[in-house]
Structure 1
Amino acid sequence: MSDFPVIRTPRLILRELVPSDIPALFAIHSDAEAMQWFGTDPITDYQQAEQLLALFASWRTLPNPGVRWGIERQAEPGLLGTCGLCKWNRQWRSCAIGFELARAAQGQGLMTEALEAILDWGFAHMALNRIEAQVHPQNCASLRLLERAGFVREGLSRQAGYWLGAHHDLVQYGLLRADWPSPAPLVARFV
């Protein structure tokens, strides 16, 4: 992966995360209530936000690379959240998906729009056959989002996650290329 793949949707720009996003990353990832399902402890200082930015950027250079996009509105700059495809297994043609959105941006269909765009991109540009997600069973919003996107519940991974000092079960979801009917109303433009 060389140039960062910027994606434009009707309302959003999915773009590379940059150092000026650190305050917004900190605000999102330090919100304990919003991050209770994310799979890591909330961050507590700007240095951790800087490290998170560096981690997301490093995904593109890993042996099994991935991409983490910053999400912002086209009409109103400012980071709203992130979404990404990671743990790309080229031989198996599979990867995992992850996402988070600031509470103020939730409930507006923004993550649905972002995920549809990156799913299209993953199937088109990474030659994926399968995209996986693991979600806490009580994270109802993410479970509904994945199901609306066509992901199929495949089972429960017992105590697969550990954060906030406890082990957590995770629901396993999968989406196959054959199940993805690239949604017609969304016209994502890959820049």
Structure 2
Amino acid sequence: MFDFPTLQTSRLTLREIVESDAQNILQIHGDAEHMRWFGSDPISDLDGAKKLVATFASWRKEPVLGARWAIELSDQPGLIGTCGLFRWNRNWKSCIMGYEISPAHQGRGYMKEALNAIITWGFREVQLNRIEAQVHPDNAPSLAILAALGFVKEGRQREAGYWAGRHHDLLQYALLNGQWRTENAV
């Protein structure tokens, strides 16, 4: 385990997800229409949300290793979404990125801002070389965020995901540390 890193942006605080966030997790993950691209079935009750909080916390332990942040507005406490880096492969210096935000907070640039913070953290603090993302081909908002962050489409994974009672193709995207440093040089 590691001490959980709290990250700040101009408008957001990214902090550890705790059990008291379960109700907000349920509001986001319980909305079947909103979560149709997430990659898992919707959560149906508060116990399911608490289990998801515990799952996110377990990522900090071997062998899974990863981090999932609660996203909240800096001037207004309360989880509005989550984002994370998980399935870290230490030998390959790579991981997968995942994220979701409440419908009420979409379209304001919060997710791009949050992902920028965790990508920077991953490349600088964890010395990752590669961050991957798998996205449903019909998830236009997520595809737009990845493009804006500089991710490159590498291909299509046929029927790689299974939720809502059926298999789904996923598009494979990746961002490399050298590319990120060049585009985000300070």
TM-score scaled by length of structure 2? 0.97
Deviation at 1:184, TM superposition (A): 6.7
Matches within 5 A, 1:87-106: 87-106=87-106
Residue identity opposite 2:103 in structure 1: R
Deviation at 1:19, TM superposition (A): 1.4
Deviation at 1:62, TM superposition (A): 2.5
Runs (5+) with no aligned partner, structure 1: 186-191
How many Å separate the matches in 1 of 2:126 and 2:65?
Answer: 10
Query: Does structure 2 retain, via aligned residues, the 8 Å contact 1:64–1:90?
Result: no
**Structure 1 runs, 4 residues or longer, greater than 4 Å off:** none
How many Å separate the matches in 2 of 1:157 and 1:13?
Answer: 34
Structure 2 match to 1:50? 50
Q: In terms of mean alpha carbon deviation, does 38-47 or 55-64 score higher?
A: 55-64
Structure 2 match to 1:107? 107
Taking a change above 3 Å as real, the CA distance of residues 21 and 184 of structure 1, as seen in their structure-2 partners, is farther
Structure 2 match to 1:71? 71
Deviation at 1:64, TM superposition (A): 3.5
Q: Find the residue that maps to 1:175 and give its secondary structure.
A: strand
Q: Find the residue that maps to 2:121 and give its secondary structure.
A: helix
How many Å separate the matches in 1 of 2:162 and 2:109?
Answer: 29
How many Å separate the matches in 2 of 1:157 and 1:2?
Answer: 32
Q: Sequence identity, in percent? A: 56
Q: Find the residue that maps to 2:92 and give its secondary structure.
A: coil
Q: Find the residue that maps to 1:180 and give its secondary structure.
A: helix
Residue identity opposite 2:177 in structure 1: R
How many Å separate the matches in 2 of 1:17 and 1:64?
Answer: 17
Structure 1 match to 2:160? 160
How many Å separate the matches in 2 of 1:27 and 1:36?
Answer: 14
Structure 2 match to 1:129? 129
Deviation at 1:131, TM superposition (A): 0.4
Query: Does structure 2 retain, via aligned residues, the 8 Å contact 1:70–1:82?
Result: yes
Query: Does structure 2 retain, via aligned residues, the 8 Å contact 1:116–1:183?
Result: no
How many Å separate the matches in 1 of 2:80 and 2:105?
Answer: 6
The number of aligned residues is 185
Deviation at 1:63, TM superposition (A): 1.6
How many Å separate the matches in 2 of 1:88 and 1:28?
Answer: 25
Residue identity opposite 1:62 in structure 2: E
1:119 aligns with 2:119: yes
Query: Does structure 2 retain, via aligned residues, the 8 Å contact 1:94–1:129?
Result: yes
Higher RCO by CA contacts (8 Å cutoff, separation 6 or greater) = 1
How many Å separate the matches in 1 of 2:12 and 2:176?
Answer: 25
Runs (5+) with no aligned partner, structure 2: none
How many Å separate the matches in 2 of 1:164 and 1:62?
Answer: 30
